[in-house]
Amino acid sequence: MSVEFFRYGATGVANLVFDWLLYFSIFHFILRQQMLPLGFVTLSSHIAALAFSFPISFMSGFLLQKYVTFNNSDLRGKVQLFRYGIVVVANLAINYIGLKLLVDVFGWFPTPSKMAITIVATGVSYISQKKFTFR
């Protein structure tokens, strides 16, 4: 196992657990599992929790990947952040579609659904970050 792969796993797990705890806390304690009316649209609590937790875990994930995992990249920070954003938006789409499918269609609980979807998104993310964002 390469040092880079180990660091990706360690930082990824740390950010993943942080994201899960943040999602759980927002869903249960801030939104209290209630719909979130915004005037022009109403978000279901599981989607609203994703929307609130996303920007926080986005930045913590980028900083961990940039400074811990892929610290040998010669690309400028702005380029890395832009590319990281592209990969994360793709992962956000995977999360959104997955949550809608597992929670709204199959009736699974939101937090385990988020955990299952994260496993798929992690595989996509590693390959994308290594080959595209921080090459």
Whole-number Cα distances in Å, 4 to 30, 42, 64, 80, 100: 36, 42, 12, 17, 34
Amino acid at 29: F
Tokens 């010669």 identify what position?
Answer: 74
Question: pLDDT, tens digit, for every residue of 29-64?
Answer: 999 999 999 999 999 999 999 999 989 999 999 999
Give the per-residue pLDDT at 111. 87
Cα 116 versus chain centre, distance: 12
Tell me the C-alpha distance between 83 and 79, whole Å.
Answer: 6
Domain ranges (residues) in the chain: 3-133
Cα 102 versus chain centre, distance: 17
Q: Cβ distance 16 to 121 under 8 Å?
A: no
Which pTM was predicted? 0.74
Q: Which residue spans within 34-120 are E strands per DSSP?
A: 36-37, 42-43
2-33 exposure pattern, b = at least 16 Cβ within 10 A, e = fewer? eeeeebbeebbeebbebbbebbbebbeeebee
Question: pLDDT, tens digit, for every residue of 118-131?
Answer: 888 888 888 898 88
